[in-house]
Each structure stands twice: as C-alpha cells, then as structure tokens.
Structure 1
Amino acid sequence: MTRNAGRTAAATPTIPAIPKTDVLGRLAWIQTAPIAQLKEQWRQLYGKEPPPFSRSYITSRLSYRVQELAYGGLKPETRARLEALGEQLDGGNVVLRRIRADHRPLPGTRLLRQWQGVEHVVTVRADDFEYEGRPYRSLSAIARHITGTRWNGWTFFGLRGRGDA
C-alpha cells in the first residue's frame, strides 16, 4: 500500500447551477441579506473564501455570479476581445490597469486649490489636465509648478487624503 492510498484528495467544491427562474429572487435577496449570509453565499458560488472588501463589492460580484451561473458567462471570443481592447487602452501597462477609472474626475471637472492666498484652477481633460492655459500630463506636475516642491497631485488637490491608498 502506498503512503497516500488511505487519503482522499482535497475535494473540489461543486458550484451549484442556478435555475433561471430563481435569478430575480436571488438578486433581491442579495441586496438585503446580512453580510455573514452573503459571505456564505460567496463560498457556495465561488468555492473559496470571500475577499475582505466592502459590502457593495460583495453584492455586485455575487449578483454577477448568480446571473453567470444561470445564463452562462462570457464566451471565450468575448473575453479575448475585451483583453485586446484593454491592451489598446493601456498599452499592456499593468499599473494603469490597476487604477480604477472611477477615481479620475470626469473631463470638464474644475479643481480649485488655495495656495498662499492664490486660488489655482485646473480643468480635467480627457487625457490630461489644463492649468493656466497649458496642458499637463499629471496633477503632480501642476502641484510642483505651483509650490516649487514635489507633491502628490491627487493629495495636493484634495482628491485623496494623506495615507489613502
């Protein structure tokens, strides 16, 4: 008898199929369920521990997963197309890929900052920022121009507090 003959391999969790008729009820339940029950549902539908993220993240991912298990996920061709589009947008830069688009202010947003008694106005554009009629690639470059010292531009303009990730 071999050493592992008496042991069973770690069982891969079986992810349950979800009937299409149950989707709306499950989606409604996800919106109101206690977080402990949502985490248990995560374990059942993903077969692993839930991440330590916010309730809104957990509910959005569970809602997607319920629909994915009922209706099917993205086709491999669709996934490949989305990956190709993503690489066109960020040039394959993994760092850019990690920056959430919703953290950047919308084009047209005006950022105001008082510095040494002077109000400074920056306009967010689609691909850069405008300050004093000139384009700048980053808020940090504008903050450096204003203060003469190195600043994190997001912090300088109050878009992120010190120590925020």
Structure 2
Amino acid sequence: MTDTIPARLTALKTTPTPELRDQWRELFDSDPPPFNRRYLESRLAYRIQELAYGGLKPKTVRRLEKLGEELDGGDRKKSRIRADLTPIVGTRLIREWQGLEHVVTVTADGFEWQGRPYKSLSAIARAITGTRWNGWVFFGLKNRRSA
C-alpha cells in the first residue's frame, strides 16, 4: 500500500465490486452493508482519508450529534428516515397545472399550499387536479418509472 491517497481514491472508481467489498472488510473490520456500489465507494473513500489524515475532532462530533438531535428531536424513528426523502424546510415547489402556477412550501411538519397545511404532496396534487396523483411525481421530485 505504497500508493498515495489520491491514487487510492481514484482507483475506487474502477475497482470491481467484489474487491470493494474486500476493502470494506479490511478497513472496517466488518462485512459490507448491502448497499449499492456508489455508497461503498464514498464510504471507502472517506475511511481511507480518515485513516490517513485523521477523523473528525471530538468537539466536531459532539456538535454534529447535538445538531442531529435538534433536527429530529431525539426521535430514533425519525433519525432512521433518509434525509434526502423530503426537501429541505423552506423549499418552494412550483408546478403549473392548466395554466395556473401552484406554489407549495416545505414545512417542518409537511407542506403548505394556499395557506393550508398538508401532510403529503399527494393530498395537494389531488386538491389541485381532482384526481389521484403520486405527489412526488406530480411535483417532479420523482419520475414515473421509479414511482
């Protein structure tokens, strides 16, 4: 392992997946999770750099944990939900439907449309169109094929 760190990181892109899994076992002393290749690459890249240059300072770790608790209220169930499932609070989703522009604001508790709170985008899409829609598809956050 006389390779430089940048060379090791670059090599991850072309390394076959079984070898990435072997590297995971080597660097983490555990079996790799059943996630996609991109996840393995990113976590391995971080771990390689962490071992070479050092990890986060304890003060930074404490600060991140505190911020995480503030965001999810310490609710373990909420903390397991992928952060990228819901757009960031304050985001405005704009959709034109039959010549009218509809603006939805993402709130901490769900969504707001025309001054009214909603728990789901699908409920808003239904109110706008009068038919059942997948809200994520209607607002362009997910394409029909992956819906």
Is TM > 0.5 for Structure 1 vs Structure 2? yes
Task: Figure out how many residues of one structure are paired with residues of the other and give that number.
Answer: 142
Larger Rg: 1
What whole-Å deviation, never above 9, does each CA across 1:62-85 have from its counterpart, x for those lacking one? 000000100111222221111111
Alignment-derived partner of residue 22 in structure 1: 4
Letter in 1 for 2:120: L
More helix by share: 2
Letter in 2 for 1:77: K
Q: 2:92 aligns with which of 94, 108, 114?
A: 108
Alignment-derived partner of residue 19 in structure 2: 37
CA distance in 1, matches of 2:18, 2:34: 12
Q: 1:94 aligns with which of 73, 76, 86?
A: 76
Q: 1:134 aligns with which of 87, 107, 115?
A: 115
Distance change >3 Å, CA 92–CA 153, structure 1 → 2: farther
Alignment-derived partner of residue 65 in structure 1: 47
SS in 2 for 1:124: strand
Letter in 1 for 2:106: R
Which residues of structure 1 form unaligned runs of 5+? 1-17
What pairs with 1:43-58 in structure 2 (closer than 5 Å)? 43-58=25-40
Letter in 1 for 2:112: E
- TM-score using structure 2 length: 0.72
Alignment-derived partner of residue 15 in structure 1: none
Does the 8 A contact of 2:9 with 2:45 survive in 1? Answer: yes
Distance change >3 Å, CA 80–CA 42, structure 1 → 2: same
Identity %: 44
Distance change >3 Å, CA 134–CA 69, structure 1 → 2: same
